[in-house]
Amino acid sequence: MSGKFIVIEGLEGAGKSSAVTIIKAAIEQFGKPLVCTREPGGTPMAEAIRNCVKQDWRDEKVTVEAELLLMYAARAQLVQNVIQPAINADQWVLADRHDMSSRAYQGGGRQIPDSMIEPLRNITLKGFKPDLTLYLDVEPATGLARARGRGELDRIEQEDISFFERTRERYLQLCADDPRAVVINTMQPMENVHQDITKAINLFLDKH
Ligand code: Z5A
């Protein structure tokens, strides 16, 4: 027996926080013990990397290579210390972001070629994949306006809109190529978004 790994992905302001609440309740009702994680983060060391990567370093430019390596360093800590042990112990894991974020933000947004990302994926994940990814799709302008409503923007959130447009485009390509990914349109009233999320998770639970 082994648990399942469910990931929520999306641009800022896509509504990942409320999706986590809905899915958490559905899995708990299904009677499965659940571990929730976020990336970058989820272990003491990975949380330190999160603070480091989100910080604005003022005059010191954060290179795209450093950003990419930090994302995978944090992921290695989380996957090996938390996610895989939980799944091996028949627990379910619900993740706020995972590997698709690096492929979309660093691959799409930062335009880092796959030839640089793939070796890091192989080292870090060794073929380990989510059982279900819910990608919450939002137009960047709408998502950023929602995120701005919450206060100060971090280093990555301060990027130009074209960065988020490339990131979204890559997300949509990755979802089209992944039979375990479901795209949820979040540019509709919250009630409809929540209905779509509930439908997608219930469909998955029915099969498991
Ligand atoms: N990152 C990366 O580059 N590479 C990687 O590999 C990984 C991450 C793993 C993590 O920051 C940053 O790291 C992130 C990607 C990058 N950076 N950026 N930019 P984070 O975790 O702090 O940021 P986030 O993941 O984007 O979280 P967020 O901004 O909190 O997004 P959210 O969780 O989707 O937003 P929310 O709090 O659920 O919703 C935002 C607001 O919108 C809230 O007030 C909602 O009530 C409202 N909302 C949500 N849905 C709706 C609808 N449908 N209608 C109206 N209003 C809505």
**Pairing relation of β-strands 34-38 and 92-96?**
parallel
CA of 10 to the centre of ligand 1 (A): 7
Check pocket membership of 13 for ligand 1, CB cut-off 6 A: yes
Q: 20-32: per-residue pLDDT in tens?
A: 999 999 999 999 9
Q: Give nearest CA residue, ligand 1 atom 33.
A: 16
Quote the pLDDT of residue 152: 80
CB 127 within 8 A of CB 79: no
- Count how many Cα atoms sit within 13 Å of the Cα of residue 126 in the half-sphere of its side chain: 4
Position 1 pLDDT exceeds 80: no
Q: Is 194 exposed, middle or buried (0-12, 13-18, 19+ CB in 10 A)?
A: middle
Rounded to the nearest 10°, the torsion over CA 151, 156, 161, 166 is: -140
Mark 1-36 as b/e (b = at least 16 C-beta within 10 Å).
Answer: eebbbbbbbbbbbbbbeebbebbbebbeeeeeebbe
Q: Give nearest CA residue, ligand 1 atom 35.
A: 13
Quote the pLDDT of residue 191: 97
Mutate to test the pocket of ligand 1, among 8, 11, 17, 196 (most ligand atoms within 8 A of CB): 17
**Matching CATH number, 5-207, of 3.30.450.20, 3.40.50.300, 2.60.40.420, 3.40.640.10:** 3.40.50.300
Q: What confidence category does residue 33 fall into, taking pLDDT thresholds of 50, 70 and 90?
A: very high
- Which distant-in-sequence residues (6+ apart) come within 8 Å of 85 by Cβ? none
Q: 48-81: per-residue pLDDT in tens?
A: 999 999 999 999 999 999 999 999 999 999 999 9
Q: How many CB atoms lie within 10 A of CB 115?
A: 7
How many angstroms separate the CA atoms of 15 and 20, rounded?
9
Check pocket membership of 49 for ligand 1, CB cut-off 6 A: no
Average pLDDT over residues 169-194: 97
- Token pair belonging to 44: 């003491």
Mutate to test the pocket of ligand 1, among 62, 70, 97 (most ligand atoms within 8 A of CB): 97
Check pocket membership of 41 for ligand 1, CB cut-off 6 A: no
